[in-house]
Structures are given as structure tokens and as C-alpha cells.
């Protein structure tokens, strides 16, 4: 038991019923997630913010730097241009000086041109006439080309001249005195200046913008009609409007650019430097990408570290939690494996210690519970056995008192005992009239095996255990294998006996008288121990008493039956006798009356008197017969009563008429004194009438003259009716016999009463007494002062029990 | 109520079923004093229908003793009532058994009257006349 109780917590024992999964996931998703999120938020949010600000700052800075750089480029280019122009001017002034010294202009000019390959041509003209004085290139000496270039100012002139190509002509004039020297540098030179990237930002493009729509870039000349500023960029448009500036806008090809520009009024050209925004910001973007990438890396690293840290923190806690959860489910053999020296390690060790203590406590508890369970079971079995004993005992007692019929009693009892104690067999043997022991009742666990027991009847009377128990009244146990000491029975009977583990025979005796044997067989070898024998003995004693009681009861019942039969016979006899007596009386009374009525002819006085005597005696005899019959019926309890609501006034009224008729011929006054408020009675009105009439008749009979008083009254729950006469006095010794069933004795003091009836006993009072008692009242007689007596009887207004029943 | 002979009873036929000859004699005498000319006597109920058939006579009144040999008055009454001829005949119980049990039995059996034995000679003519007049008379003696 102990092992079984502890088993569920054993090492390899899976939980008997798998409960819902433990909340481990919830743990990881709870504490771990919280920690991880906190870590990530703390790491990534500031980093992201920093990255964003950095990016923003870099872009702004790049922009500013770029624009400033472009502005510088523009200024530098202007300076270059001015320097370039001034170089030519100086060259031209040197030529002019040489010409003034009368040097051959053409040779000088050719020498210069040969020296400077950028010059495509050099022309000397007379300002006043416009005549070409000298020219190194005939193509430039055409008047159409020269005319617009005539100027009295030094400097660069870019003029749209109709030449072979439609490109404008780039010219630098140097007027002095009346002559003008014009140099035609190639566009290549200017283009080199423009394209010179030395001072430019990498990737920037520089344009020289002429006011008439020509634009020079490093790719060459291009033309944009100056009248359509919407077709050009903001920079070019501003230059055309002679404005300086810088900014971000869409370039000529539509690409967003940063640009810086200025207008040189002396040279009449604008310089524009542009840088593609995408190109310019590329570096910034690269930087931003580096920053974002670095941030991401840092975030990832942080996340990883956070995860590791979180796991390191939560794993032992989760482990602890899971363990605690298992322990809460009763699996106490839990151990947390955490080999750490930090707080969690301390917690784990404390937890393990606690679990170990709990396990020890629990195992102790289990062991104790198991021990107590065994004790309780033992006690319970004991109690159950006692309960069965008690219940069976009580049941036997109940059966003993409730079943009067002896055979039924015995059958019920053996079945009761056989079933309650789970016996194979239970039987009761009783001595019959001849002193032989016979089976009176038997219980078999399997009814079909009843034949096996037939031999037992014969056996019971031998010197078998049953027979010996019946002989000496000592109970015996026979166990299989011990031998039943077959004595004279021999082996044959023993072999025929059914195989039961043990047998108990208990004597049934009342005091010293042995009635029989209670025989029990059990299939349990250890049954019928000493304690159990005592129990069976007490059951046997109860059965004995029950048998004795049943026998006494049967005897009593037989007696009662016999008495009842006697009563019935007596009643029948009286009825028959009454009938038999009435038949001759019919003739005596009838014919004497016929004669007295002189129907048969006239009578003389003596005949008449004689017949009168016969007739009266016949009547008297008839009355006596009726009274005797009535009295005997009352005695036997077969007299009929029919109760109902009764008004005493009505009865007394009727009775008074009869009584007055009886008193006719005597000097008697009959008075009635009945209060008006007499209650209705629940009783037999005819019987009440019978009693009152009997008392009045009695009074009239013994009173020759005087008064008779009939009084009625009520008191607590009953009415009292009395009849008082002033007739003869009843002697004291007669009072007690006056209601006797042998008939009222002839009162001595009333001897010699007229009518010749005094010597005949009267049953009227005896009948009245029995009727009154049957109705639940009492009747008595009192002698009073002076002559006469008082007969009084009471009647309950509501009888407590229904009378008329036997 | 006397035994004065009246012409009213001269032609009626009274049947007396009685096992005691003296009782029959008394009843017959009393009836004759009343002027009844035809009074028949039978000892048992079985003879009543026979008589009626043989005599071809209508029976006006049957005085039936209860205590009879073989078959008691109740059985006779039951059998007679089943017969068409006696269904409405006045049938009166004449008996010495005046217990209330017997009286109530007679009442429920369907008798037209109940005369206790001994016969009250003084009241007999009046009772018979009333019974013949259709009344149901219960005399308990």
C-alpha cells in the first residue's frame, strides 16, 4: 500500500493522467520577451535616432559644401576666363607695340599665331574704314565677319557671325589709335578652360552661357533659344537675367542638380557650374548607409546579447517555475540543475533543499496514511462484521416478533443467517413429537444442490456431530481434514457428505430444554472462530426464544380459536333455542288469546281467569327468552349497535308515552325534567331508548303509587340521565347484585308486589348495564332517604372509540 | 280491528307455507275468523307453484315461514319472484327469528311484510288487511 501510494512520484513513473501542459511557453514568452524587448528598445531606438540625425546632418553639410564649392568653381572659372582674355589682350598689345615700331604687321602676326596654336586667326583692321590691313587667315578677313567686331573697347567679343559654320565667332579685340587688332581664338581653348576640372568638384559640369542662347560646355557648343527660358534650367535662366546665385534645381536634362552661377558684365558671359544631386549626395548616401548598417549590426549584436542575457536570466527561472509546477502536481522528485553561484544559483539550491524536505515530509505522510488506511480497513472490516452481526441479530429479533407462523419463521431466519454471513448452508433441526431430530428449514447457497442434504436427516439422529450437539447441548465445530469422528455412521455417510471447509452446530435451547440444532457450513476454512461461535450462539438463543414464542403463540391461538368457536356455538345455540321456544309459545299465546277473545265461543269467569294466566305466563316466558338472548349477545359482543346523531328530547318523548301506558291503572305520576339545551349525542338511539325504558319499567313495576322523575342533565363531555322512584326500598346487599347477569334478584323489600311478577328475575337492568357500558357510559343505583331509589346512567357526548365493533 | 267477517275477504286465496301444523292451524283459524274462505297449507316452498297451477287459482297472499326444511323462506321468495305468476303477489314473512339481522335481510329480500311469532292475535286482522291494501307491514312482536 505504501509503495503504491508513493508511486506516482517515482522516478520513472509518468504521471497517471497527463494534465494540461505546463505553462513553460508562457514563461519564456513572458519574462524573456519583456527583457528582450526592453533590451532592444534601449539599444535600437537611440541608435536609430542617432543614425537619422547623423544622416540628416551629413546631407545638410554636403549640400552646403557642394554649393560653396560650386560657387568657388564659378568664381575660379571667371578668374580663369578673365586671365585667359587678359593674356590675349597682352599678346595683342605686344603686337600693337611691334606694329607701332613699324614692324611688318603680317610677319609679326604670323609669328604670334605660330607661337600660339590656339589662335585660329589674327586680323588687323583700320577702325575708321573697316579695311582689313592684315590677316593671317582669310576666312576671318571677311567684312561680314569683321563688322560686328568693330569696337573701341578692349575685350572679348562673342559675336554671331555668319560663317561657314553657324557657330558664333569668338573674338578678342584690341583697339589702339585708329587700328584694331582682332584675335580669333578657337573654341577649343575656351572649352579647355571650361572643362578644366582642376578646380572643380568631382563630377561637376561647367557651362559658359552666352547671352544670345549659345552655351559652351566641355562637350561643345549648343544652342538654346534665349527667348524660351522655360526650356532651360533655373541657372541659365537667371544668367540671362544677369543674376548671380546658387541653389538646387532641375538641370537641362531634367536631372536634379546643385548649381552656382554668375554673370560677368565685362565679358558679357555667364558661368554656370552644376553638380548632379544624385552624384553629389552619393557619398552622403554611402555614409548614411554605413551609419544605418552599423546601427543594424549594433542592434543585431545587442539583440543577440540581449537574448543570451535574457536566456541566461530566465532559463533557470523557467526551470524553477516548471519544477515548482510539477511539484504542485505532486511529483516531488524534482531537482533543479543550476550550477551557478549568483542569486539564481542560490535560489535553485534553496529550492532543491525545499523540494527534498517536502519529498521526505510527503513520503512520511504517505507512509503514515497508508498505515492508517490499513488500520482503518481492518477496523472497518471488524466494524462491518459487527454491523452484519448486529443487523442480522436485529433482523432475527424482528422476524422473531413479526412472524408467528413457526415454519415461515424458521425459513426466513436460516435464509437471513445464510445470506448475511455468506454461508454455504444453514439449517435448523428440531425435535418432532416422537423425539426425532428433523430438518425444519434449510438455506442453500445453490438451490440445485438440495439433494446433497437428504442424507442429513438420517445422520442427525445418529451419533453424528449434530446428534451429539442435540444430546448434550454443547456447540461443536468440525473442520475438513480433521475428521468428523464418524463413530457408528461409517465411511459411507462421511463420503456422501458435501465438501465444506468447516461446519458449526449450535444447540437451540431455552433454559435447559434443547429444542434442536442450528447447523451452519462455510467454505472459508477459518470461519467459526471462537468469537463468531459466540455470535452464532446468541443468534441461536434468539431463534430458540422465537421458536418457543411461536409455539406458545400457536398454542394460544389455538385456544382462542377454540374459545371463539365455543362462543359462536353458544350464540348459535341461543338463537336456535330462542327459535325453538318461540314456536310452541306461538301456539300457547296465540290460541289462549283466541279463546280469551271468545272467538271460539263465550267463556265463564273462571275459564277466562285461567286462560288469562296461561296467556300472561306465555308472554312473560317470551320476554325472558328475548332478554336472555339479548344478554348473551351482549356478553358475546355480537349484539348489533348502529351509532348516529341522536336527539335525547325525541327519545325521551317517545319513551314517556310508552311509560305512561305501562303505568296505566296505577296511581303514578311520571315527570320529566330535561333542559332545553341538551346536546346532540353520537350514540345508538334505539339502545338509549331501550335503557331508559328498562329503568322506567323497573320504576313503574316497583311503585304502586307515587311519583317517578326522569331527569337529564349535561356536564363535562357527557350527559346524565336518572330515573327516581318513590317505590320500594332496595336493601344494601341487593344493590350490588341488581345488575347481575343472572337476573335481578327479587327484592325482599319488594316482595308481595302486585301482578305476580315479583318472583320472576328480570334481565332488564343487566341488559341496561351492558348496553350503557358498550355505549361508553356508566350506570349505578343509589338508595335515597325515604322510600325509593335512583338509577342513573351517563353517556359520552362524543365517544372516544367506535362502539358496536367487537 | 276485529275479527268481524267482511265480505271483502271472502274470495281471496291465502297460501300458508309452514312446517309446523299448529302454527298453520292458528293462522288458518285467525284468517277464517276474518272471513277468508280459501286458505291453503303447504309444508314447503316447492309446493306453491304446483298448487297454483293445479288449482288454476290466483293466490292473493302468501304467509311464508322463514325456517323451513330443505329450502328456507328467502330461497322460496327468490324463486317465486322469478315466476311471472308470483311477481306481484303479496308475500309476508312469518318467523320466530326476530333478530335485527334477520329483519334487515327480510327487508332487502323483497318481502311485503314481516310478522313475528308468536303472532299478535289482537293486531293480526288489521295487519293482514293493511298488507292486502298494499302497505308493507313490519311487526317485530
| Sequence spans of domains, chain A | 403-528, 558-639, 641-796
pLDDT of residue A618: 92
User: Mean of the pLDDT values across residues A416-433?
Assistant: 83
pLDDT of residue A25: 43
Chain A: residue whose CA lies nearest to B20 = A583
Contacts of B24 in chain A (CB under 8 A): none
User: Mean of the pLDDT values across residues A442-456?
Assistant: 51
> Mutate which of B29, B72, B96 to test chain A, going by most A C-beta atoms within 10 A?
B96
> Mutate which of B116, B118, B119 to test chain A, going by most A C-beta atoms within 10 A?
B118
B96/A583 Cβ within 8 A: yes
User: What is the Cα–Cα distance from A758 to A743, expressed in whole angstroms?
Assistant: 12
User: What is the Cα–Cα distance from A728 to A708, expressed in whole angstroms?
Assistant: 12
Look at residue A606 and tell me whether its pLDDT is greater than 90: yes
Contacts of B3 in chain A (CB under 8 A): 597, 599
Share of chain B above pLDDT 70, in %: 94
Q: Min CA distance, B131 vs chain A (Å)?
A: 20
What secondary structure letter does DSSP report for A21? P
Express each pLDDT in A658-714 by its tens digit.
888 888 888 889 999 999 888 899 999 989 999 999 999 888 888 888 889 999 998
CA B139 to chain centre: 13
CB-closest option in B101, B118, B121 to A597: B121
Look at residue B88 and tell me whether its pLDDT is greater than 90: no
Chain B: residue whose CA lies nearest to A601 = B33
pLDDT of residue A276: 80
Contact of B18 with B65, CB cutoff 8 Å: yes
**SS3 helix, strand, coil % of chain A, rounded to 5?**
55, 20, 25
A593/B122 Cβ within 8 A: yes
User: Mean of the pLDDT values across residues A93-110?
Assistant: 78
User: Mean of the pLDDT values across residues A153-171?
Assistant: 67
Contacts of A621 in chain B (CB under 8 A): none
User: What is the Cα–Cα distance from A258 to A255, expressed in whole angstroms?
Assistant: 10
- Write down the ipTM of this complex: 0.88
User: Mean of the pLDDT values across residues A228-234?
Assistant: 71
| Domain B7-139 annotated CATH 2.10.70.10 | no
Residues 54-113 of B with CB under 8 A from A: 67, 96-97, 99-101
**Phi/psi of residue A453, each to 5°?**
-95, 0
DSSP H or E stretch at residue B38: strand B38-42
Assigned fold of A558-639: Helix Hairpins (1.10.287)
- B127 and chain A in contact, CB less than 8 A: no
Chain B: residue whose CA lies nearest to A619 = B118
CA atoms within 13 A on the CB side of A226: 12
Q: Min CA distance, A635 vs chain B (Å)?
A: 16
Radius of gyration of chain B (CA): 14
Contact of A791 with A698, CB cutoff 8 Å: yes
B26/A583 Cβ within 8 A: no
- B118 and chain A in contact, CB less than 8 A: yes
Express each pLDDT in A733-756 by its tens digit.
677 778 876 666 555 444 434 444
A582/B118 Cβ within 8 A: yes
Name which residue leads in pLDDT, A512 or A491. A512
Q: Min CA distance, B23 vs chain A (Å)?
A: 6
Going by pLDDT thresholds of 50, 70 and 90, the confidence category of residue A83 is confident
User: What is the Cα–Cα distance from B130 to B141, expressed in whole angstroms?
Assistant: 17
Look at residue A92 and tell me whether its pLDDT is greater than 60: yes
Q: What is the phi-psi region of residue A799: left when phi exceeds 0, alpha when psi lies from -120 to 50, beta otherwise?
A: beta
CB-closest option in A578, A585, A599 to B118: A585
Going by pLDDT thresholds of 50, 70 and 90, the confidence category of residue A4 is very low
Count of H-run helices and E-run strands, chain B: 5, 6
Give the per-residue SS3 of A628-690: HHHHHHHHHCCCCCCCEEECHHHHHHHHHHHHHHHCCCCEEEEEEECCCCCCCEEECHHHHHH
Share of chain A above pLDDT 90, in %: 11
B26/A591 Cβ within 8 A: yes
Contacts of A589 in chain B (CB under 8 A): 118-119, 121
Q: Min CA distance, B50 vs chain A (Å)?
A: 27
Look at residue A587 and tell me whether its pLDDT is greater than 80: yes
Chain B: residue whose CA lies nearest to A591 = B26
Listed by start position, the domains of chain B span 7-139
pLDDT of residue A202: 65
Closest C-alpha among A360, A356, A420, A411 to residue A384: A420
Name which residue leads in pLDDT, A10 or A377. A377
pLDDT of residue A1: 41
Assigned fold of A641-796: Heat Shock Protein 90 (3.30.565)
Burial degree of A117 (CB within 10 A; 0-12, 13-18, 19+): exposed
Grid cell listed for A515: 429444542
CB-closest option in B26, B97, B122 to A586: B26
pLDDT of residue A159: 65
- B51 and chain A in contact, CB less than 8 A: no
pTM for the whole structure: 0.46
User: What is the Cα–Cα distance from A578 to A625, expressed in whole angstroms?
Assistant: 6
Size of interface A-B (CB pairs under 8 A): 54
> Mutate which of A584, A594, A596, A617 to test chain B, going by most B C-beta atoms within 10 A?
A594
Contacts of B100 in chain A (CB under 8 A): 640
Q: Min CA distance, B24 vs chain A (Å)?
A: 10
Contacts of B119 in chain A (CB under 8 A): 586, 589-590
Chain A: residue whose CA lies nearest to B5 = A599
Contacts of A591 in chain B (CB under 8 A): 26
pLDDT mean across residues, chain A: 78
3-state secondary structure at position A254: coil
Name which residue leads in pLDDT, A354 or A159. A354
CB-closest option in A588, A599, A622 to B3: A599
User: Mean of the pLDDT values across residues A8-18?
Assistant: 45
pLDDT of residue A29: 57
User: What is the Cα–Cα distance from A158 to A156, expressed in whole angstroms?
Assistant: 6
Closest C-alpha among A84, A55, A77 to residue A201: A77
Contacts of B67 in chain A (CB under 8 A): 579
The residues facing A270 across adjacent strands are: A209, A263
CB-closest option in B22, B100, B117 to A582: B117
**Phi/psi of residue A104, each to 5°?**
-60, 115
User: Mean of the pLDDT values across residues A503-530?
Assistant: 85
Q: What is the phi-psi region of residue A247: left when phi exceeds 0, alpha when psi lies from -120 to 50, beta otherwise?
A: left
3-state secondary structure at position A431: strand
pLDDT of residue A227: 62
pLDDT of residue A190: 78
Look at residue A761 and tell me whether its pLDDT is greater than 70: no
Contacts of B94 in chain A (CB under 8 A): none
- B128 and chain A in contact, CB less than 8 A: no
User: What is the Cα–Cα distance from B116 to A755, expressed in whole angstroms?
Assistant: 26
A590/B118 Cβ within 8 A: yes
Pick the CATH number of A403-528 from 2.60.40.1110, 3.90.1150.10, 2.60.40.10, 3.30.450.40: 3.30.450.40
User: Mean of the pLDDT values across residues A770-795?
Assistant: 87
Q: Min CA distance, A618 vs chain B (Å)?
A: 10
Q: Min CA distance, A780 vs chain B (Å)?
A: 28
CB-closest option in A582, A583, A594 to B121: A594
Q: Min CA distance, B120 vs chain A (Å)?
A: 7
User: What is the Cα–Cα distance from B74 to A82, expressed in whole angstroms?
Assistant: 176
Q: Cis peptide leading into B118, omega within 30 of 0?
A: yes
Look at residue A489 and tell me whether its pLDDT is greater than 50: no
Amino acid at each position: 500500500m505504501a509503495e503504491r501510494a508513493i508511486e506516482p512520484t517515482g522516478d520513472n513513473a509518468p504521471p497517471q493522467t497527463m494534465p494540461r501542459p505546463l505553462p513553460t511557453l508562457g514563461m519564456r514568452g513572458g519574462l524573456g520577451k519583456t527583457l528582450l524587448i526592453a533590451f532592444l528598445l534601449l539599444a535600437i531606438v537611440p541608435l536609430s535616432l542617432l543614425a537619422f540625425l547623423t544622416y540628416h546632418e551629413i546631407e545638410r553639410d554636403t549640400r552646403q559644401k557642394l554649393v560653396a564649392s560650386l560657387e568657388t568653381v564659378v568664381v575660379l572659372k571667371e578668374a580663369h576666363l578673365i586671365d585667359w582674355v587678359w593674356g590675349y589682350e597682352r599678346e595683342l598689345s605686344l603686337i600693337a607695340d611691334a606694329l607701332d615700331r613699324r614692324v611688318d604687321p603680317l610677319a609679326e602676326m604670323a609669328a604670334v599665331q605660330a607661337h600660339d596654336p590656339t589662335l585660329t586667326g589674327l586680323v588687323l583692321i583700320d577702325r575708321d574704314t573697316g579695311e582689313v590691313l592684315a590677316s593671317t587667315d582669310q576666312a576671318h578677313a571677311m567684312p561680314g565677319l569683321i563688322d560686328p567686331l568693330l569696337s573701341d573697347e578692349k575685350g572679348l567679343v562673342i559675336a554671331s557671325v555668319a560663317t561657314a559654320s553657324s557657330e558664333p565667332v569668338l573674338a578678342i579685340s584690341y583697339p589702339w589709335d585708329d587700328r584694331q587688332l582682332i584675335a580669333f581664338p578657337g573654341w577649343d581653348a575656351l572649352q579647355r578652360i571650361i572643362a578644366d576640372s582642376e578646380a572643380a568638384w568631382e563630377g561637376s559640369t561647367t557651362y559658359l552661357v552666352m547671352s544670345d542662347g549659345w552655351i559652351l560646355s566641355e562637350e561643345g557648343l549648343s544652342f538654346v533659344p534665349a527667348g524660351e527660358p522655360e526650356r532651360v534650367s533655373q541657372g541659365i535662366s537667371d544668367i540671362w537675367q544677369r543674376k548671380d546665385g546658387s541653389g538646387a534645381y532641375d538641370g537641362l536634362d531634367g536631372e536634379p542638380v546643385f548649381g552656382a552661377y554668375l554673370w560677368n558684365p565685362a565679358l558679357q558671359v555667364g558661368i554656370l557650374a552644376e553638380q548632379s544631386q544624385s552624384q553629389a549626395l552619393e557619398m552622403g548616401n554611402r555614409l548614411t548607409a554605413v551609419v544605418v548598417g552599423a546601427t543594424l549590426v549594433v542592434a543585431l549584436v545587442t539583440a543577440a546579447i540581449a537574448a543570451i542575457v535574457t536566456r541566461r536570466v530566465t532559463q533557470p527561472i523557467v526551470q524553477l517555475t516548471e519544477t515548482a509546477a510539477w511539484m504542485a502536481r505532486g511529483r516531488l522528485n524534482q531537482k533543479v540543475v543550476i550550477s551557478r553561484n549568483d542569486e539564481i544559483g542560490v535560489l535553485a539550491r534553496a529550492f532543491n533543499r525545499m523540494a527534498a524536505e517536502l519529498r521526505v515530509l510527503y513520503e512520511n505522510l504517505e507512509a503514515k496514511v497508508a498505515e492508517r488506511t490499513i488500520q482503518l480497513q481492518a477496523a472497518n472490516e471488524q466494524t462491518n462484521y459487527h454491523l452484519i452481526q448486529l443487523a442480522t441479530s436485529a433482523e432475527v429479533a424482528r422476524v422473531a416478533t413479526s412472524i408467528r407462523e413457526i415454519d415461515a419463521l424458521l425459513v426466513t431466519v436460516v435464509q437471513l443467517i445464510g445470506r448475511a454471513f455468506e454461508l454455504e448452508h444453514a439449517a435448523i433441526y428440531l425435535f418432532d413429537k416422537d423425539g426425532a431430530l428433523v430438518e425444519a428449514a434449510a438455506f442453500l447457497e445453490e438451490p440445485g444442490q438440495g439433494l446433497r442434504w437428504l442424507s442429513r436427516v438420517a445422520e442427525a439422529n445418529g451419533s453424528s456431530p449434530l446428534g451429539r450437539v442435540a444430546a448434550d447441548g454443547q456447540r461443536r465445530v468440525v473442520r475438513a481434514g480433521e475428521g468428523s469422528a464418524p463413530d457408528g455412521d461409517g465411511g459411507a455417510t462421511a463420503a456422501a457428505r458435501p465438501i465444506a471447509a468447516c461446519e458449526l452446530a449450535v444447540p437451540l435451547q431455552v433454559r435447559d430444554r434443547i429444542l434442536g440444532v442450528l447447523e451452519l457450513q462455510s467454505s472459508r476454512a477459518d470461519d467459526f472462530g471462537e468469537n463468531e461461535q459466540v455470535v452464532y450462539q446468541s443468534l441461536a438463543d434468539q431463534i430458540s426464544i422465537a421458536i418457543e414464542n411461536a409455539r406458545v403463540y400457536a398454542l394460544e391461538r389455538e385456544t382462542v380459536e377454540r374459545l371463539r368457536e365455543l362462543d359462536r356455538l353458544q350464540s348459535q345455540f341461543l338463537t336456535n333455542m330462542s327459535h325453538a321456544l318461540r314456536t310452541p309459545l306461538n301456539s300457547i299465546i296465540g290460541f289462549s288469546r283466541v279463546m280469551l277473545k271468545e272467538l271460539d265461543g263465550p267463556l265463564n269467569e273462571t275459564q277466562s281467569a285461567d286462560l288469562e294466566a296461561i296467556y300472561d305466563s306465555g308472554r312473560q316466558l317470551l320476554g325472558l327468552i328475548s332478554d336472555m338472548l339479548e344478554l348473551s349477545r351482549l356478553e358475546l359482543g355480537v349484539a348489533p349497535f348502529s351509532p348516529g346523531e341522536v336527539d335525547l328530547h325525541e327519545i325521551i318523548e317517545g319513551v314517556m308515552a310508552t311509560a305512561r301506558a305501562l303505568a296505566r291503572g296505577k296511581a303514578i305520576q311520571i315527570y320529566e325534567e330535561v333542559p332545553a339545551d341538551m346536546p346532540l349525542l353520537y350514540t345508538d338511539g334505539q339502545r338509549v331508548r331501550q335503557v331508559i325504558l328498562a329503568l322506567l319499567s323497573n320504576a313503574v313495576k316497583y311503585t304502586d303509587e307515587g311519583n317517578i322523575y326522569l331527569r337529564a342533565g349535561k356536564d363535562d363531555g357527557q350527559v346524565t340521565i336518572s330515573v327516581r322512584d318513590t317505590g320500594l326500598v332496595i336493601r344494601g346487599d341487593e344493590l350490588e347484585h341488581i345488575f347481575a347477569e343472572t337476573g335481578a334478584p327479587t327484592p325482599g323489600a319488594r316482595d308481595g308486589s302486585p301482578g305476580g311478577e315479583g318472583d320472576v328475575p328480570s334481565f332488564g337492568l343487566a341488559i341496561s348495564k351492558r348496553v350503557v357500558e358498550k355505549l361508553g357510559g356508566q350506570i349505578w343505583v343509589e338508595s335515597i332517604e325515604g322510600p325509593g331509589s335512583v338509577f342513573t346512567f351517563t353517556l359520552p357526548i362524543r365517544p372516544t372509540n367506535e362502539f358496536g365493533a367487537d | 280491528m276485529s275479527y268481524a267477517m267482511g265480505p271483502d275477504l271472502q274470495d281471496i286465496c291465502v297460501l300458508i307455507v309452514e312446517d309446523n301444523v299448529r302454527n298453520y292451524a292458528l293462522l288458518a283459524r285467525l284468517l277464517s275468523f276474518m272471513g277468508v274462505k280459501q286458505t291453503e297449507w303447504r309444508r314447503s316452498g316447492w309446493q306453491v307453484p304446483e298448487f297454483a297451477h293445479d288449482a288454476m287459482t290466483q293466490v292473493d297472499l302468501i304467509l311464508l315461514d322463514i325456517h323451513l326444511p330443505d329450502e328456507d323462506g328467502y330461497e322460496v321468495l327468490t324463486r317465486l319472484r322469478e315466476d311471472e305468476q308470483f311477481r306481484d303477489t303479496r308475500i309476508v314473512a312469518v318467523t320466530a327469528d326476530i333478530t335485527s339481522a334477520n329483519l334487515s335481510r327480510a327487508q332487502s329480500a323483497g318481502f311485503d311484510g314481516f310478522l313475528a311469532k308468536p303472532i299478535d292475535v289482537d293486531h293480526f286482522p288489521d295487519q293482514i288487511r293493511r298488507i292486502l291494501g298494499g302497505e308493507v307491514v313490519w311487526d317485530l312482536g
